[in-house]
Structure 1
Amino acid sequence: MNHNKNRQNPSPPPAPRANHRQASHQVRIIGGLWKRTPLTVISADGLRPTPDRVRETVFNWLHHLHNGQWNNISCLDMFAGSGALGFEAASRGASQVTMFEAFPPAYKQLEQTKQKLRAEQVHLLRGDALLLVKNLLVKQQKFDLIFLDPPFNLGFLEKILPLCTDLLTPTGILYVESEQALMLDSVPATAACEPTWRILRQDKAGSVYFHLLQRNTESGEAV
């Protein structure tokens, strides 16, 4: 009996487990001044960059609604992450883009991207989105376009969406990504949408629903 059999034929050591939190990948700016510029996406829980094809669709919608005129548009990107939405707007000529980000590595990446692009119109704020929004409300600051793409299933949409009515200009547009379709004609699936909103455009890609909303006005006129 060969007592050394296990020594002579040892099992291979287990492969090291990948550290997914340190891994990263890239998305690209779709159009404008910085077209095709790669943006690094830090891998972290809840950080879910808007896919290139969804951004292409959304910015085609926005381009049409604004008649291609971006130079007078001020934007707010509440959960910036990679900055894909905010930098896309800046690339196309938005006059001012404010980005919120709470996760330190993602915020650092935003700073590096801003410096690389020399994006002076981009203003970065680090901290909790809900608190930063409340600070903007105190200052009575208004935006023509707001990107609201929060982590799913954490209740951010229900808390922040009602506050956006006072952050938008009268004809401002709100972009929303969510895990369920927003339904304004009945009880909304997310229990988040107010009757003051109406849907301008909406679509679905995979498990993500995306929408353009605008506040209802007495005249009912859109952009």
Structure 2
Amino acid sequence: MSGAPGRIRIIGGNLRNSRLNVPDLPGLRPTAERVRETLFNWLAPVLDGARCLDLCAGTGALGIEALSRGAASVQFVERDARAAQALRDNLERLKASAGRVSALEATTFLRGTPQPQDLVFLDPPFALGLWPALAQQLETGGWLAAQAWIYVESPRAGALALPSNWQMHREGHAGEVRFALYRRAVPLS
């Protein structure tokens, strides 16, 4: 985490240099600034006007960064009530009205009425191993636009079981973290 403890910085867009207040919660692992910078450089051509879903949002740094850089909307999903409230408070303070927060488990949220998204941030708590289940719910539940982008953050060691029609676009590593951007290909019927 950069900056003062309990705060992270938005690095680009109209909210650049804004600070997010981060609650002290066990397991909360904000995406590092250099990883966010790399990711949003990759996403620059497709972000303007995108509908986004930030699953397992935590601090909301990924989704708020997307709003700052021109995303039309971001639905944040965070199971921890304190993290969800901190996220609401940050959105209100930043006047980021295109962000909505649901304080739910990601699997529960994805059982709701689907709204196809152009970009999904999939960064669940590493210890829970939720990638395959959440990826399957996203793919089969109607949550992904035909050629959606999916960002996946996971431990560097080990392979993930993701849908076969998610095509690797780019990937990188930072310490023990692997980050990857996939592009969804429409499955053949």
| TM-score (ref. length: structure 2) | 0.90
Is the contact between residue 96 and residue 121 of structure 1 (CA under 8 Å) also seen in structure 2?
yes
Instruction: Specify the alignment match of 1:86 in structure 2.
Output: 63
Bigger RCO (CA 8 Å, 6+ sep): 2
Q: Aligned partners of 1:34, 1:195: CA distance in 2, in Å?
A: 36
Matched, 1:26 2:7: yes
Which of 95, 110, 119 is 1:118 aligned to? 95
Q: For residue 194 of structure 1, report the CA deviation from its aligned partner.
A: 2.1
The residue that corresponds to 2:152 in the other structure is 176
Task: Indicate which of 77, 99, 105 corresponds to 1:100.
Answer: 77
Deviation for aligned residue 1:153 = 2.5
Q: Could you report, residue by residue, the CA deviation over 1:87-128 in whole angstroms, capped at 9, with x for unpaired residues? A: 000111111110011112111111111110111100111111
In structure 1, distance between residues paired with 2:95 and 2:174: 32
Number of residues of Structure 1 aligned to a counterpart in Structure 2: 183
Distance 2:21 2:109 in 1: 24
* Structure 1 Cα separation of the partners of residues 56 and 164 of structure 2: 24
**Structure 1 unpaired stretches of 5+:** 1-23, 183-188
2:124 is equivalent to residue 150 of structure 1: yes
Percent identical among aligned pairs is: 38
CA offsets, 1:158-211, max 9 Å, x none? 2101122231111110000001367xxxxxx23x21212110010000000000
TM norm structure 1: 0.77
Larger Rg: 1
1:116-162: CA deviation from partner (whole Å, max 9, x where unpaired): 01111001111111100111xxx231000000010003121121011
Letter in structure 2 aligned against 1:115: E
Write the mapping of 1:1-223 to structure 2, written as runs, cut at 5 A: 25-64=6-45, 66=46, 70=48, 72-135=49-112, 139-165=113-139, 166-180=142-156, 189-190=159-160, 192-217=161-186
Preserved CA contact (<8 Å) 1:78 1:99 = yes
- Structure 2 letter corresponding to 1:145: L
